Amino acid sequence: MNVEDFCRATSVRRQVSEANNQASNGKAERMHRTILNMARCMLFASGLPLKFWGYAVEYAAYVLNRSACSANPRRMSPIEVLTGKCPDMAGIVTFGSPCTVYRDPGKRAWQPRAEVGMIVGKNDETKGFKVYIPKDMVVVTTQHIENVETLDSKQNVQLQAQLKREGPELWRSIDEREEAKQQKEKTPKKKKKQVKGKKKKKKAHGTDDVGEDAESDQGSEGDGEQLAPTAASAAPAARMQTRHMGAKHVPVQVVHAVVTPDPRNYREAMRDARADKWKEVIKVEFEALESNNTWKVVARPRNSKLLHTKWVFKTKTHADGTVERYKGRLVPCWT
């Protein structure tokens, strides 16, 4: 169902804002900027490429919905206002945190049980974290993560406890499979005795049987060839392991980037540490308005509602995060 059908079914009348006028939809535009700022910091701090911007935006919205909001009563988070329950913050970890992910090897007994991955979000539809595995270049959704590098040992234990509370059946099935495999490996296997031919050959004194290959190469009993005596039994040749056993874990340094938010109004600008910069911006804006004859002083008409104005401040930055310049605009408000 699209928005038009939903509004028609619920008797809601839509009112759209003016095109190319951000001030008429200030709350939504401000939230867009907040989410993009968070997502940009997540990508820079994690070192992930730009193609993960969608995961960063989703995770930024997930964190904001569970963070305290000064606009709500008692600074409740949006999810608490909606559901009436305080969210559990133990499941929130740093975007791009290196961790180890359990991978079910299936019938491949010698495959590694865990691989190194990076957390890129939380899945609401399927309980678990979205983890990017660089080795396979895939993103999987799983609850079976351990050794999150951005958390200490106590926080890792809390995270494991929360994941087990959310999906106990999944964890129980994993534990049962692991126990069954361990029991199977501990059970001794009976070796089958292999006899080639109907007659069993008699070994010469001081010699050892080296297997079927040596027996077949020896040929018939009348060849006259004898094996050299050996002091110890010849061990079967060990099979060389040529499969890739997983990449070595490389420590990753995670940097927490901090972005100072821009003031939302004139009062916050004057209390900000960059108040001198904002005063210069306001002065330049007033001079530009006066030189362009933007305003005209007139008598107020009777029974008329006046529009109020609002200051919009923004910090322009370079690609590396350094400040390029400060901007300030005086805009009218229709709300």
246-295 pLDDT tens trace: 444 445 444 444 557 888 888 888 988 888 999 999 999 989 888 888 88
- Taking only the tens place, the pLDDT of each residue in 188-223 is 555 545 544 444 444 444 444 444 444 444 444 444
Question: Tell me, what amino acid is at 275?
Answer: A
Domain regions of the chain by residue span: 22-180, 266-295+303-333
Query: To the nearest 10°, the Cα dihedral for 65, 46, 260, 274?
Result: -170
User: pTM of the predicted model, to two decimals?
Assistant: 0.45
Q: Is the pLDDT of residue 155 over 80?
A: no
14 near 3, Cβ under 8 Å?
yes
Nearest to 18 by CA among 10, 30, 29: 29
Per-residue confidence (pLDDT) for residue 109, from 0 to 100:
73
DSSP string spanning 19-51? Answer: TT-GGGGHHHHHHHHHHHHHHHHHHHHHT--GG
